[in-house]
Chains A and B, each alone.
Chain A
Amino acid sequence: MTAVVTATGLTKLYKSSLALDGASFQIGAGRIVGLIGPNGAGKTTALKAILGLTTFDGQLNVLGLDPRKDRGKLMEQVCFIADVAVLPRWLKVGDAVDFVANTHPRFDRAKCEAFLARTKLQRGQKVKQLSKGMIVQLHLALVMSIDAKLLVLDEPTLGLDILYRKQFYQSLLEDYFDEEKTILVTTHQVEEIEHILTDLMFIRNGKIVLDTDMDSLGERFAEVLVSAEQAPAARELKPLDERQVFGKSIFIFDNVSRPQLEQLGEVRRPSIGDLFVATMKGTYA
């Protein structure tokens, strides 16, 4: 696999707190990677480092370039949606398209017009007249018309209703993503991206605590529904997490052999959300 992003010992010190603490990871081409972590874990800082928006220590290679030095060149091939609220309020829809069409060498105007035609956006509308969902439609139409190698999304659907959220990821998958492109996304709405991710990274206190692809995730982690009598036996196997449902216990195990678990009860793949909660236990304590 050719790496799009290679980070080694990524460290960022904000005044007195470590936002990134020697994080190392690799992102391959053609992957959709979810970077998940609690508030303040360093997600946004990591993305900012990749996008050359902040200084940092350590090694970072994005598409063969150092984001600190070659940001100008890098941004022709990297695109990002930082947040739903960053489009300037005075900008008109039509002007936004004209501007990007004339300043971005990899922008496909016809594509963008086609995306916009599927929405209710009018050329003369200003961003401040649009709802949050419509702003995201505009931003997404602009970004999806750019033939970028790496797309970075930082909480792209924050504050949107479920219709817009579903539509957002559906468009990304159907109209944008292919094996040439790589998407890196952070979000708190884990359930919604669970089925589109190919890789998963958990970040906690500035360190990558889990880095796996979704296939090996199912082999490594298991969730077992255990009856009350067998719960002590399950606890012997050092579960990551235990929770009670209807008098039964649900355990999450890391790297315990499948046959052993099947004796205890029904085994299935844990959801990312449950795995996340299990991994991040005690973060805010």
Chain B
Amino acid sequence: MKTFYWLVKREFWEYKGAFFWAPIVTGIVFLVLNTMGLILGEVFGRRTNWGGFKYNGDMHFQGSMSPEDLHNAGAGLDIMLYAIAGIILCVSAIVVFFYCLGTLCEERRDRSVLFWKSLPLSDTSTVLSKVFSALVLAPSIAVVVGVVVGLVLSVLIGTVASMHGLGVWSLLAEAHPFRVVLNLILLLPLYAIWALPTVGWLMLCSSWARSKPFLWAIALPVGAGVIVSWFGLMGMAGLSSQWFWANVVGRLLGSLIPGGWISHASTLEGLDRNNPAAMVDSLGLVYNYSALASPTLWIGAAAGAAMIAGAIWFRRWRDDS
């Protein structure tokens, strides 16, 4: 266990820029862009009477709002937090994609694998520490950074609003940042299970390819997809190329995209788009985890686990450094 902790720590040392700084920089850029937008709105608002932030001075939001409206406003803020965390998670997904593709190939290319192999570290725990970094460490950092960015943005907007005499601070109090973080954290296991086939496939390519893992990882599934489509076009019986693209190519390459399991979750009934609070509730954990009932998810996870086992095998026996 201690060894595993240090192995994950080692991944963090090596990929600190990718796991830690990439989401933070994205968050900062996001905040800067939004601040620029707010300033732009201010300037426009002052210059013209049209558009921008222009309110008549004595509007008191919370006073005129019913408890239900307040509740909905809070839910709206929650949705904003989810959305921003989602953006950061997408960035983290891209980073993790290239991490998985590079890590096992890179260590052979720069021959540092020979140093790690001179220590009593098993190939299994080494590869699993990389899987853990990709599926748990990186998304967790992204979630935390995402929610912090969301909160900072809320405060920014709140400040601008109060400059216009808009008391929105009590609205902010209606948001549930901790619940958002908790929900996102609780969604991470689902994300990990869902992303397994992509992580497994990329690591298998990274561990197997002598060079250019990127080319192999993309070319093999896409090439297979093209061939299947071609046979499909020729009218071979029982071949649905669409199914192949979605369930094989898509799952091998695209499962790191957050929320990819949505289409496999139970269908939403009576989703009221005009009622944010109800929407947030119906999009909750139970809804997301209903995707666990889909066999596709488990077949993908099993395939992912098998490919990770393959990556471990290749790390043990690949002899080209």
Contacts and interface: CB of A to CB of B under 8 A. Distances in A.
B57 to A, nearest CB: 56
Given A86-B111, A90-B14, A103 B319 contact: no
Nearest to A85: B111
A72 to B, nearest CB: 5
Contact of A90 (B2, B9, B13, B111): B13
Nearest to A152: B118
A95 interface: yes
Interface in B1-43: 2-3, 6-7, 9-10, 13-14
Q: Interface SS of chain B: helix, strand, loop or mixed?
A: helix
Interface stretch (A48-56, A157-165, A224-232, A258-266): A48-56
B316 to A, nearest CB: 8
A52 to B, nearest CB: 9
Interface string A60-103: 00000000000111011001111101111111100100111011
A36 B10 CA distance: 36
A103 B120 contact: yes
A102 B3 contact: yes
Nearest to B122: A72
A104 interface: yes
Contacts of B115: 82, 86-88, 139
A103 B3 contact: yes
B299 interface: no
A132 B120 CA distance: 25
A229 B316 CA distance: 62
B111 A82 contact: yes
B110 interface: yes
A91 B3 CA distance: 17
Nearest to B16: A90
B319 A99 contact: no
A40 interface: no
B119 A100 contact: yes
B121 A103 contact: yes
B119 A104 contact: yes
A105 B111 CA distance: 24
B6 A99 contact: yes
Contacts of B118: 51, 75, 79-82, 143
A88 B110 CA distance: 8
Nearest to B7: A103
A83 B119 contact: no
B317 interface: yes
Nearest to A154: B114
Interface size class of chain A, counting residues whose CB lies under 8 Å from the partner chain: 20 to 34
A63 to B, nearest CB: 13
B284 to A, nearest CB: 40
Contacts of B319: 48, 53-55
Interface string B98-123: 00000000010011111101111110
Nearest to A81: B118
A104 B120 contact: yes
A72 B120 contact: yes
A81 B122 CA distance: 18
Nearest to B13: A95
Contact of B111 (A54, A79, A83, A102): A83
B114 A83 contact: yes
26 contacts: A53-B114, A54-B317, A72-B122, A75-B117, A75-B118, A75-B119, A75-B120, A75-B121, A76-B120, A80-B118, A82-B111, A83-B114, A85-B111, A86-B110, A86-B114, A88-B14, A90-B14, A98-B6, A100-B119, A102-B6, A103-B2, A103-B119, A104-B120, A105-B120, A139-B115, A143-B118
Given A89-B112, A90-B13, 19 more contacts: A48-B319, A53-B117, A54-B317, A71-B316, A72-B122, A79-B118, A80-B114, A80-B118, A85-B111, A86-B112, A86-B115, A98-B6, A99-B6, A99-B10, A102-B2, A102-B3, A104-B119, A104-B120, A143-B118
Interface of A: 48, 51, 53-55, 71-73, 75-76, 79-83, 85-92, 95, 98-100, 102-105, 139, 143
Closest 7 CB pairs between A and B? A88-B112, A82-B114, A75-B120, A54-B319, A86-B114, A76-B120, A86-B115
